[in-house]
Copies of this chain bind each other. A is one copy, B any other.
């Protein structure tokens, strides 16, 4: 690999994270680790705010404004202006909301275009929505490489996840958005594997909607809330569809009729989970003073090192990710027929990645808490597991509920 890649500046700030002894964590693309200060902050929120302020915390402790405040902080990491991102609910819910709003903008069209590399829940939620809308609506799922070419004049919305959760293959966000809009379709990006992984230029892309989650590269904790972005010119137009009381223009007037709030606030639904939101708010502090371009450069260096070392030392594995780093997110996947068992053997030896059916071993690269020495150590273990066929042990073949 080029020396310039090997020498990308370090952005490692391991001291900010709780990292278990003896573990090399290559699964931050699934669940980020605990930022150390989150525990104390969340405890203080419970004792000093919930405990002492009780109901008064909604105003006095800023709980009511928290979802928008968090949206603005996430916006800075994904190229979205202030007031265009709202945090809440789960990614499945936010996908539903974005797609319903997109379809309302194109009432004369009936096709939602997506690809088979999308995360299944996006497709499931879309199907549920289209079933309500009626038989003439269609979810058209094509291969990822065919997505851009499949945007015909009947397509109301293009709904894609930028980075494929299995292979790490990355779509051309600007190019596909342009193609969608030239065909008169609305563009929705799912940034689940993008936010916090590399620079995203949402505003520059011109896409109408984006959604994402905060428990992967943003380290918000298991089940941390999702976010939704609405392009500024649509903020007062987009239909919330899931029109909960906190998206009302005057929630405490308790009108019987719904009247959406101006701007991104209309994408709020019900009462936000304040404890979980507070954990996320504190977790976002690890990004203070971090340049996403430097995170990306460091991640590419780690990935290039990993690919080169694995290909040199583990001939049993086949690269499943794009070789060109520009075409890849912040993960590297290899195919191996016994990938499930091999991953269990790795995990037992402290190298935590994960497995995606049918045969993908997935490794995430998160330079805030991973460095080149970690990568070297991980490949050492991987080489041993494969060379000595440690995955043959029957105990590694029993499937767990969550894989």
| A75 contacts partner chain B, Cβ-Cβ < 8 Å | no
Question: Is B55 in contact with A125, judged by CB distance below 8 angstroms?
Answer: no
For A196, list chain B residues within 8 Å (CB): none
Query: Residue on B with the closest CB to A67?
Result: B223
Report Cα–Cα, A353/B335, bound state, in Å: 60
Main SS of the interface on chain A?
Answer: mixed
A148 at the interface (CB under 8 A from B): no
Mark each residue of chain A from 114 to 133: 1 if its CB lies under 8 Å from any CB of chain B, else 0: 00100111011101110111
Whether A13 is near chain B, meaning CB under 8 Å from some CB there, is: no
Do B58 and A241 have beta carbons less than 8 Å apart? no
Name the residue in A213, A215, A223, A245 with the highest tally of chain B Cβ atoms < 10 Å from its Cβ: A223
- Distance of A104 from chain B, by nearest CB (Å): 9
**A240 lies within 8 A of B271 (CB):** no
The minimal Cβ–Cβ distance linking A39 to chain B, given in whole angstroms, is 5
Are A47 and B34 CB-contacts (below 8 A) given A223-B272, A275-B279, A401-B59? Answer: yes
Q: Is B55 a contact of A243 with CB atoms below 8 Å?
A: no
Residues of B within 8 A of A357 (CB): 252-254
User: Whose C-beta in chain B lies nearest to the C-beta of A240?
Assistant: B128
Q: In A248-272, which residues have CB < 8 Å from any B CB?
A: 248, 252-258, 269-272
B244–A92 touching, CB < 8 Å: yes
The reply to whether the CB of A30 lies closer than 8 angstroms to some CB of chain B is: yes
A64 to B299 alpha-carbon distance, docked (Å): 30
What distance in Å separates the Cβ of A32 from its nearest Cβ neighbour in chain B? 9
Most buried by B among A116, A123, A222: A222
Question: Does A52 belong to the interface (CB within 8 Å)?
Answer: yes
A356 and B134: CB pair below 8 A?
A: no
Q: Which of B121, B131, B166, B242 contacts A96 (CB 8 A)?
A: B242
Q: Is A301 an interface residue (CB 8 A)?
A: no
A33 with B54, Cβ < 8 A, contacts A127-B258, A253-B357 known? yes
Partner-contacting stretch, out of A20-28, A171-179, A290-298: A20-28
* Contact residues in B for A269 (Cβ distance below 8 Å): 90, 92-93
Distance in angstroms between the alpha carbons of A166 and B51 in the assembled complex: 25
Residues of B within 8 A of A402 (CB): 58-59, 64, 252
**Does A304 count as interface, using CB distance less than 8 angstroms?**
no
B275 close to A242 (CB less than 8 A): no
Residues from 30 to 58 in A contacting B, C-beta threshold 8 Å: 30-31, 33-34, 38-39, 42-43, 46-47, 50-52, 54-58
Tell me which residues across on chain B come within 8 A of A100, comparing CB atoms. Answer: 132
Known: A93-B242, A121-B270, A245-B92. A256 touches B224 (CB 8 A): no
Are A273 and B273 CB-contacts (below 8 A) given A93-B93, A240-B128, A244-B125?
yes
Decide yes or no whether A168 CB sits under 8 A from chain B. no
| A-B residue pairs, 7 tightest by C-beta | A90-B270, A92-B270, A121-B245, A92-B244, A222-B274, A223-B273, A58-B402
Supplied contacts A31-B54, A59-B402, 8 more A-B pairs, CB within 8 Å: A89-B89, A90-B244, A91-B271, A119-B245, A120-B248, A131-B241, A223-B275, A275-B275
A-B contact pairs, 11 of them (CB 8 A): A18-B47, A39-B43, A58-B222, A59-B402, A91-B271, A92-B244, A127-B243, A127-B257, A132-B132, A273-B273, A275-B276
